[in-house]
Structure formats: structure tokens, C-alpha cells
Amino acid sequence: MPDPWDAQRQALGAFIRTQRKLANLSLRQLAEMTSLSNPYLSQVERGLHQPSVRVLRLISDALNVSAETLLTQAGLLDADRTSAGRGGADGTGGADPAAAENAIRADQRLTDEQKSALITVYRSMLRSE
């Protein structure tokens, strides 16, 4: 039976890797900025470790991503709390999921790997609502 947390760790790792690449940082540079080891960060990005809240805060600061976003990706914060008060009554702001995915696919600044990671993260967040 598959580990139910495996998909969450994989999505979190893909999200962190995508954010790191969008910030034009190497894994080594991120390790230096967070005072974490390069091998440990590599394992987090590959979904082999569930980082602690402290580690997620270090990573969020280094990547200039809200800690709330990373905590939600890690499954440590309820997505409903992060979407509360954002637009429509359902918390979606009236957004069409297909349109969001199409916008990601159409963005020529992203690689295919980044697009895939973003869509995976986006879908996992929608499922957790």
C-alpha cells in the first residue's frame, strides 16, 4: 500500500525545486542561504524527507515565498485557512482551474519540468480543499 504522505512530499519537493530554479539559485546556493546541507535539501526536493516547520521557514525566507505557502504544501497548514477571504464564497476567487493550468502551460518562461511541477502542486492544492 502506498504511503499517503509520499505524494505530499513529492509535491512539496517539486514546488521547492521549481521556486529555487525560478529564483536562479543552485542547490548549493540555497544550502548556503539556509545553513542546511546540500544533500539534505536534495532529499527534500526529491520528496525523501518531510522537512520540519523550522526548515520550511528557512527555505521560505531564502526563496522569498511565504511560509504559509510552504506550510500548506507540506500539509502542515490547512489550505482552507490560506484561501479564506480570497474572492468568491468558495474561496477560489472565481478562478477556473482549467484556465489556470492553461496559463501555466502557455508561459514560455517556464521549462516543461517547471510547468509539470506547478500543475502538480496546483492540482494537489485543489484536492486538499
Cα separation, 113 vs 107, in Å, equals 12
> If you average pLDDT over residues 67-93, what whole number do you get?
57
Query: pLDDT at position 74, please?
Result: 67
| pLDDT, tens digit, 9 for 90 and up, residues 6-20 | 878 888 898 899 899
User: Which CATH number is 106's domain given?
Assistant: 1.10.260.40
Q: Cβ neighbours of residue 82 under 8 Å, at least 6 residues apart?
A: 68, 69, 72
Number of domains in the chain: 1
Within a domain: 1? no
> If you average pLDDT over residues 100-126, what whole number do you get?
79
Domain range for residue 61?
Answer: 6-127
